[in-house]
């Protein structure tokens, strides 16, 4: 098996981390039905010497029954099943282990890919649904200093089939009673390893496989699928034009460029204003309310004035188009940052709600198994290395951002200027 190599953000070598958009090539994973369109599947099956409709039969087993076991494909002649499965449904991801938390309601799975790269997914059971948190890249090149995955760097992009296989396994395991009773996985969030919009083509095709009806895909509801991004603005605009009404979640974490430049390095390319304009455009194009994710970090981004600024920025672009999810920070190994106090969290939330912004504190499922957002580091590098990098990256940011901790002197006039641009419209442009 080939050894994989990470592309690490160069935190130590410069004043700011550099971003990695280009994943290394490690050869291609085996050909898989999920990577092909329906026409391509039928052509391939014909080339293999079988009737074209076998492609649809295989696709139905995969998408309707989550099945890749030739023994269960009784509608396909015994003499053809094994070859068809070997040719179109080869194993792409191998389970290394499950870790269980929250009284059995959260299960984190570590997967090994064909080239030795590893990713994680987290399956969570709620009273009314099960949600899978899925990975789109092995590692991540976005270098956010509070995130363990970011400290491990980018290994490579996942293919559509590698992304979808995480979901098929989860659907099968949940249907077969991994939670003690059969459960349907109705929701997917792209909040595992990776920046989904940095692997756009594979993620877009994966969204189609999730949403399109069988035999094209699983036929899930688009509104139950969430794509999360730190702010690749041109790609958000592209996604808005796809006609896929999935939910967009923007990991904002700071409403001012001064701080966000340091907390989210991509902000050096796409500023807060540009990002919120693009998020609002997404809402207008799709009709889907945008989630604004905000990890509350103690004494870093949790000030009341930042809640006021965030509310003003959102309201200045119309009412009701965004929903804010503050999330208590899950410190990475070695983190010098920690979650906000209960008082600061409460004040932040109340400030937003008083300004008319719908706000819900998001839970942090699986934090005790490093399965919560920002903690999906897997065994890509050893923990000590991740810890050292996290502490280093955070110290570098910490030293720079003192100026951004306090309310700017001209804050009231800034707020007034933003509020003055509020056009009072209700969800239409």
d(CA 338, CA 356): 28
Q: What is the SS3 assignment for 306?
A: helix
Angle made by CA atoms 180, 186, 187, in degrees to the nearest 5: 110
If residue 13 lies in a helix (H) or strand (E), which one and from where to where? none
Any contact of residue 178 with ligand SF4 (CB under 6 A)? no
Catalytic residue among 120, 165, 293, 313: 120
Any contact of residue 144 with ligand SF4 (CB under 6 A)? yes
Any contact of residue 142 with ligand SF4 (CB under 6 A)? yes
d(CA 311, CA 185): 34
d(CA 365, CA 63): 28
Q: Is 281 labeled as ligand-binding? A: no
Any contact of residue 55 with ligand SF4 (CB under 6 A)? no
CA 194 to chain centre: 7
Neighbours of 364 (CB within 10 A): 18
CB nearer to ligand SF4: pick between 138 and 143: 143
CB of 9 to ligand SF4, least distance (A): 8
Any contact of residue 150 with ligand SF4 (CB under 6 A)? yes
Per the annotation, the verdict on 176 as an active-site residue is no
Among 195, 205, 256, 262, binds ligand SF4 (CB under 6 A): 195
d(CA 232, CA 251): 11
Angle made by CA atoms 153, 157, 160, in degrees to the nearest 5: 150
Q: Is 195 labeled as ligand-binding? A: yes
Cis peptide before 215 (omega within 30 of 0): yes
CB nearer to ligand SF4: pick between 85 and 147: 147
| Spatial CA neighbour of 136 closest among 213, 189, 99, 95 | 189
Per the annotation, the verdict on 313 as an active-site residue is no
Any contact of residue 230 with ligand SF4 (CB under 6 A)? yes
CB nearer to ligand SF4: pick between 107 and 142: 142
Any contact of residue 147 with ligand SF4 (CB under 6 A)? yes
**CA separation, residue 380 to residues 45, 88, 116, 283 (Å):** 37, 29, 10, 36
Catalytic residue among 67, 293, 313, 373: 373
Any contact of residue 140 with ligand SF4 (CB under 6 A)? yes
Please identify, among the stretches 139-147, 330-338, 349-357, 384-392, the one whose residues bind ligand SF4 according to the rule CB under 6 A. Answer: 139-147
d(CA 231, CA 266): 7
Q: Is 251 labeled as ligand-binding? A: yes
Any contact of residue 380 with ligand SF4 (CB under 6 A)? no
CB nearer to ligand SF4: pick between 92 and 147: 147
Which amino acids are annotated as binding site for [4Fe-4S] cluster, given as ranges? 140, 144, 147
Residues with catalytic function: 120, 373
Which amino acids are annotated as binding site for S-adenosyl-L-methionine, given as ranges? 194-195, 228, 251-253, 330
List residues near ligand SF4 by CB under 6 A. 140, 142-144, 147, 149-150, 194-195, 230, 374
């Amino acid at each position: 098996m080939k050894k994989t190599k990470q592309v690490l953000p160069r935190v130590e070598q410069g004043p700011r981390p550099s971003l990695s958009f280009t994943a290394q090539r490690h050869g291609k994973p085996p050909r898989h039905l999920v990577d092909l369109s329906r026409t391509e599947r039928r052509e391939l099956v014909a080339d293999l010497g079988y009737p074209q409709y076998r492609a649809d039969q295989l696709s139905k087993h995969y998408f309707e029954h989550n099945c890749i076991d030739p023994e269960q494909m009784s509608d396909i002649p015994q003499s053809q099943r094994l070859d068809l499965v070997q040719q179109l449904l080869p194993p792409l991801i191998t389970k290394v282990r499950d870790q269980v938390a929250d009284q059995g309601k959260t299960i984190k799975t570590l997967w090994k890919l064909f080239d030795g790269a590893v990713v994680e997914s987290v399956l969570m059971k709620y009273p009314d649904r099960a949600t899978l948190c899925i990975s789109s890249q092995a590692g991540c090149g976005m270098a956010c200093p509070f995130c363990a995955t970011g400290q491990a760097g980018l290994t490579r992009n996942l293919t559509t089939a590698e992304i979808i296989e995480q979901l098929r396994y989860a659907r099968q395991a949940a249907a077969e009673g991994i939670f003690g009773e059969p459960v349907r996985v109705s929701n997917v969030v792209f909040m595992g390893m990776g920046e989904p919009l940095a692997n756009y083509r594979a993620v877009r095709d994966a969204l189609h496989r999730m949403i399109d009806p069988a035999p094209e895909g699983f036929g899930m509801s688009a509104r139950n699928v969430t794509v999360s991004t730190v702010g690749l603005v041109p790609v958000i605009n592209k996604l808005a034009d796809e006609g896929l009404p999935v939910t967009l979640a923007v990991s904002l974490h700071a409403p001012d460029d001064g701080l966000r430049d340091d907390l989210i390095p991509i902000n050096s390319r796409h500023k807060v204003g540009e990002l919120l304009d693009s998020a609002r455009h997404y809402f207008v194009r799709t009709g889907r309310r945008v989630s604004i994710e905000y990890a509350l970090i103690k004494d870093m981004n949790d000030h009341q004035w930042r809640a006021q600024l965030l509310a003003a920025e959102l309201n200045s672009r119309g009412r009701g188009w965004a929903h804010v999810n503050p999330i208590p920070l899950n410190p990475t190994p070695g983190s010098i940052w920690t979650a906000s106090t209960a008082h600061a969290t409460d004040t932040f939330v109340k400030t937003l709600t008083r300004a008319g912004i719908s706000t819900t504190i998001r839970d942090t499922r699986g934090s005790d198994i490093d399965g919560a957002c920002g903690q999906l580091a897997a065994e890509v590098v050893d923990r000590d290395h991740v810890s050292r990098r996290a502490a280093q990256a955070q110290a570098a940011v910490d030293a720079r951002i003192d100026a951004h901790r306090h309310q700017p002197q001209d804050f009231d006039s800034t707020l007034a200027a933003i509020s003055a641009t509020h056009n009072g419209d209700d969800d239409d442009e």
